[in-house]
Structure 1
Amino acid sequence: MDNGSAVHETLDRNMSDGLDTLESIPDAVPVVLTEPPIEDQLAYNTLWPESHKLYGHGNELFSLCCDHEGKLVASSCKAQSAPIAEIWLWQVGSWKAVGCLQSHSLTVTQMEFSHDNSMLLAVSRDRQFSIFTIQRTGVDEVGYQLLARQEAHKRIIWSCSWNPFGHEFATGSRDKTVKIWAVERESSIKQLMTLPQFKSSVTALSWVGIDRQRNLGLLAVGMEDGLIELWSLTTRRSEDAAPGVAATLSIRLDPCMCHVSSVNRMSWRNHEMSEDSTSLQLASCGADHCVRVFEVIVN
């Protein structure tokens, strides 16, 4: 073999060594992450390839929510002015922007659609909540209107949640309070009650229905110190009496079961209560980078 052939053979071997073959691909091994994974890690290690990138907000996103039919997504971003604090509505499928909702002057911290998808509730760092009516006027068209905006707390409002059985909703704030509100027939907002003050800022809420006939539900309250409490709420709606709500503390979760830092978000698993179903599942995530799932036995 001459020197030229030897050089070409060496180059071919070096090039082939750099290619991924079945023999060269390393075996998959568990990876321990000490912080949330970056986009490259998710793209390389998971089966969630990006299909769309939606442009519209001026700053990094802060909150997202989807309606209960999975057809409409609302998004908000960090904001220090009213134009940036807009809420954008996106049509699922076509991913077209179908609305820009204006109400707040600072970051919208959380949003949630009512369970009949007729209203969108938003809370903000400006200490106010807003309610928008949502109407579908066509395949890719959505009508919306600001129904109410009200200053509700003395500090930042971090969280909100609708009653699954009606148009009552809860708001939680850095002022360590949770307030229950109702949308009345006259399209006005009435405060029904304030829960006893908590020991820490309220950072997460999630309301689940248990008994529709009695309008009974459980409100999970997550706090900045990582603790979680469950409150039993019974709402009253009658033509002969003003709307009202009764609240009692049902469960205060053991601190050893809770987070060691702020509870960022909570969500109840969708369920159908029956005589044979006596348990619920609640998921929570916190600033301690942990996700916890609790099973709650309903008596």
Structure 2
Amino acid sequence: MVAPVLETSHVFCCPNRVRGALSWSSGPGGLLAFGTSCSVVLYDPQKRVVITNLNGHTARVNCVQWIYKQDGCKSDHSFSIIMFLSFCVIQLLKAVHLQGHEGPVYAVHAAYQRRALHTLLVSAAADSTVRVWCKQGSEVTCLQTLNFGNGFTLALCFSFLPNTDGDLFSPPPVPVLACGDDDCKIHLFVQQNDQFQKVLVLSGHEDWIRGVEWAAFGIKITFAVTLETVLAGHENWVNAVHWQPSFYKDGVLQQPMRLLSASMDKTMILWAPDEESGVWLEQVRVGEVGGNTLGFYDCQFSEDGSMIIAHAFHGALHLWKQNSTNPVTWHEIARPQIHGYDLKCLAMINRFQFVSGADEKVLRVFSAPRNFVENFCAITGQSLNHVLCNQDGDLPEGATVPALGLSNKAVFQGDIASQPSDEEELLTSTGFEYHQVAFQPSILTGKKRHKDGLLESFVYGHGYEIFCVACSNSKTLLASACKAAKKEHAAIILWNTTSWKQVQSLVFHSLTVTQMAFSPDDKFLLAVSRDRTWSLWKRQDTIPPELDPVFSLFAFTNKITAVHSRIIWSCDWSPDGRYFFTGSRDKKVVAWGECDSSDDCPEHSIGPCSSVLDVGGAVTAVSVCPMLNPSRRYVVAVGLECGKICLYSWKKTDQVPEVNDWTHCVETSQSQSHTLAIKKLCWKNCNGQTEQNEAEGAEWLHFASCGEDHTVKIHRVNRCAL
């Protein structure tokens, strides 16, 4: 088998904030399916990796449900289309769209009939109807529409009456359907003469019914519905209930009597009857304490019941299991503080300091306190002294939020030691025990009194919302720009990263600067703008050298010399600093150069040094790999507005005009691509070595991508195949 050229190493995504967007397969592999943005993601909880993305919906996926006894899952979204998905191993074979609802679909369920060799599907939508579908082979037809008037069905569950779906000598299978409605009642339907007839209405709930599910118990054919137990334990809405999956033992179906419930009170409860009294009791309660989340939307059992999972308002999947192991996994280790506005940009200053900008006029600088560094070293197994690099004395012990404040504040060892005796108990409580190292990633779902990140400074200077930031490679200068409709507002501001004082204001562009990049040697600063031009600023040596550097305009394009005809979204430098690349909404990528830092001319003319690459779609991100491919060509990653990522190699041919200088290497498949526009691409710095790098060798390159579909993905590329 030929080694793949491009692989996705890891995908960071989260379930949509809706009930029913999570389903755990009880088949081989135990894959977890959930909706994220417009995609359905297949996730392996054992390996903690995303297996594949199923792209096909055009709006938010509202619910997902595996169909048992068959390798398939179905999903739906708010455009009233249900999509049935079939799989072979982990590759999508065929998707069938079911159209008919006149409102958003938000509940689905299915049951497979072994004797009839077809699948019954049921869907509920905002048009106050429930539709019953039949799938046989690749054909799907609508059998019946149940109208609920002005009411809404919020939960559905299919099943078959016991002992009616067995061998050929058993009675015909009798499907039964339970619908939970907003009238606080459960409506039971039984199929008679190929039509579902309402047979019973169950009352007793005092609010909307969010979840219903059947469980097999006995083999009687005559039934009477009675109230068994009222399970009271949650303190808020119960959003989901699920039975532990049944299994066959010695040819007999076994149904464990264990029930899992998820609630908006941020807990999941595992219920089971007492062996002696038969009274249903709470066995296990798990969840989160405190925080700014809105609880759990859904929960699921694993196939054998040894693991349970839930997803919450903030998007994380919460997984609990009985037997702990220690695999290599990806974790979010800190969430320092929120801006209160949508984040727009971020730049790392050093290993434990970064600056971020949002839809506000200020930049916020965050630094890691000693407590965070200690936890980081404990998690990764690195030496604390090696990581700190003689910065131990400059780090605060931690950060706290004052009782009447909004921003966190540094706490130093001397502050703790000098507190009066009546406050000593407070400062030595759990929230202030910074010397206690946590050997696990923190639970990051709440506003804590102690913080993993210290807000060191607010940086003021822009008149409108921050749009982009960039830090020099020497980590001494920070460049920032804001949204602008006039030249005076489109200025680039340079900041000293030690004092956070303004160094210089660079005025050239007339509209918003969309991205900036320092050259590898920090001699140049490149900026691209919404005004369809770029500007190149050269650093002037200062005497004495300890003074802040000054930048002057070195080269630029205007309406006459410009190549791009639409907004330039992205730019990046070649690793040797000789060339830079720009990508625009006009579908073009262009290489420019050469850039000579020894040229003392006040202004220099720099033109295209490549042919114009037409990538076939609007370019929203460009990033150049810090390593050349084996043919000594530059490797350029291009992100498109449609969510696809394309890799090209380029080398100057010294022909006039340049021809055959661009080579298409590989592009992401539909499942590897984002579903919405790419916002940023970034290659991994090849100077840093990890155990994974050493194991893989130098033939694999890594880059990360993020998009408007709220997903971050890490890809790896076979360098030898480029």
Confirm or deny a common fold (TM above 0.5).
Answer: yes
Paired residue for 1:160? Answer: 571
Q: 1:213 to 1:297 in 2, by over 3 A?
A: closer
**1 CA distance for matches of 2:629 and 2:613?**
25
Moved more, 209-218 or 61-70: 209-218
Q: Helix, strand or coil for the counterpart of 1:103? A: coil
Q: Choose the corresponding residue for 2:483, options 62, 78, 88.
A: 78
**2 CA distance for matches of 1:132 and 1:290?**
34
Q: Helix, strand or coil for the counterpart of 1:256? A: coil
**2 CA distance for matches of 1:169 and 1:255?**
29
Aligned pairs for 1:194-233 (under 5 A) are 194-211=611-628, 215-233=632-650
**2 CA distance for matches of 1:53 and 1:136?**
29
Q: Choose the corresponding residue for 2:592, options 181, 188, 202.
A: 181
Paired residue for 2:550? Answer: 143
**2 CA distance for matches of 1:236 and 1:211?**
16
Read off the aligned partner of 2:709 and give its amino acid letter.
Answer: D
Q: 1:32 to 1:136 in 2, by over 3 A?
A: farther
**1 CA distance for matches of 2:526 and 2:339?**
30
Q: 1:42 to 1:96 in 2, by over 3 A?
A: closer
**1 CA distance for matches of 2:631 and 2:666?**
20
Contact 2:611 2:661 in 1 (8 A): no
Contact 1:215 1:236 in 2 (8 A): no
Q: Helix, strand or coil for the counterpart of 2:610? A: strand
Paired residue for 2:8? Answer: none
CA drift of 1:135 comes to 3.2
**2 CA distance for matches of 1:192 and 1:96?**
38
CA drift of 1:216 comes to 2.3
Aligned pairs for 1:9-28 (under 5 A) are 26=289
After superposition, the C-alpha distances for 1:129-179 in whole angstroms (9 at most, x for unaligned) are 000002352334211110111033101000001111232111111111111
CA drift of 1:183 comes to 3.1
Q: Does 1:171 align with 2:452?
A: no
Aligned pairs for 1:95-114 (under 5 A) are 95-114=500-519
Contact 2:613 2:662 in 1 (8 A): no
Paired residue for 1:282? Answer: 703
Q: Does 1:190 align with 2:590?
A: no
Q: Does 1:39 align with 2:450?
A: no
CA drift of 1:235 comes to 3.7
Contact 1:169 1:181 in 2 (8 A): yes
Read off the aligned partner of 2:466 and give its amino acid letter.
Answer: L
**1 CA distance for matches of 2:537 and 2:630?**
27
CA drift of 1:77 comes to 0.2
Scaled by the length of structure 2, the TM-score of the pair is 0.35
**1 CA distance for matches of 2:577 and 2:629?**
10
Contact 2:494 2:503 in 1 (8 A): yes
Read off the aligned partner of 1:112 and give its amino acid letter.
Answer: A
Read off the aligned partner of 1:193 and give its amino acid letter.
Answer: S
After superposition, the C-alpha distances for 1:74-132 in whole angstroms (9 at most, x for unaligned) are 00000000000000001111111111001100000000001111000000000000000
After superposition, the C-alpha distances for 1:220-251 in whole angstroms (9 at most, x for unaligned) are 000100000000122468xxx88968220111
CA drift of 1:192 comes to 1.5
Q: Helix, strand or coil for the counterpart of 2:661? A: strand
Paired residue for 2:670? Answer: 255
Moved more, 134-143 or 217-226: 134-143
Contact 2:704 2:714 in 1 (8 A): yes
CA drift of 1:33 comes to 2.2
Contact 2:535 2:556 in 1 (8 A): yes
Q: Helix, strand or coil for the counterpart of 2:454? A: coil
Structure 2 gaps, min length 5: 1-287, 294-310, 317-336, 341-405, 409-446, 688-692
Q: Between Structure 1 and Structure 2, whose CA radius of gyration is higher?
A: 2
Q: Does 1:264 align with 2:682?
A: no
CA drift of 1:266 comes to 0.5
Read off the aligned partner of 2:669 and give its amino acid letter.
Answer: D
Read off the aligned partner of 1:68 and give its amino acid letter.
Answer: N
Paired residue for 2:422? Answer: none
Q: Helix, strand or coil for the counterpart of 2:671? A: helix
Q: Choose the corresponding residue for 1:51, options 439, 446, 456.
A: 456
**1 CA distance for matches of 2:630 and 2:552?**
31
Moved more, 188-197 or 93-102: 188-197
Q: 1:226 to 1:148 in 2, by over 3 A?
A: same
Contact 2:526 2:537 in 1 (8 A): yes
Paired residue for 2:403? Answer: none
**1 CA distance for matches of 2:623 and 2:533?**
19
**1 CA distance for matches of 2:613 and 2:582?**
13
The percent of aligned pairs where both chains have the same amino acid is 35
Contact 2:626 2:683 in 1 (8 A): no
Paired residue for 2:498? Answer: 93
Contact 2:583 2:620 in 1 (8 A): yes
CA drift of 1:196 comes to 3.5
**1 CA distance for matches of 2:475 and 2:485?**
30
Q: Helix, strand or coil for the counterpart of 1:165? A: coil
CA drift of 1:264 comes to 0.3
Structure 1 gaps, min length 5: 1-24
Q: Helix, strand or coil for the counterpart of 2:705? A: strand
Paired residue for 1:7? Answer: none
Q: 1:291 to 1:253 in 2, by over 3 A?
A: same
Q: Helix, strand or coil for the counterpart of 1:83? A: helix
Read off the aligned partner of 1:162 and give its amino acid letter.
Answer: W
Contact 1:172 1:179 in 2 (8 A): yes
**1 CA distance for matches of 2:339 and 2:580?**
35
Q: 1:33 to 1:144 in 2, by over 3 A?
A: same
Moved more, 98-107 or 47-56: 47-56
**2 CA distance for matches of 1:234 and 1:42?**
50
**1 CA distance for matches of 2:461 and 2:595?**
34
**2 CA distance for matches of 1:112 and 1:88?**
13
Q: Does 1:128 align with 2:533?
A: yes
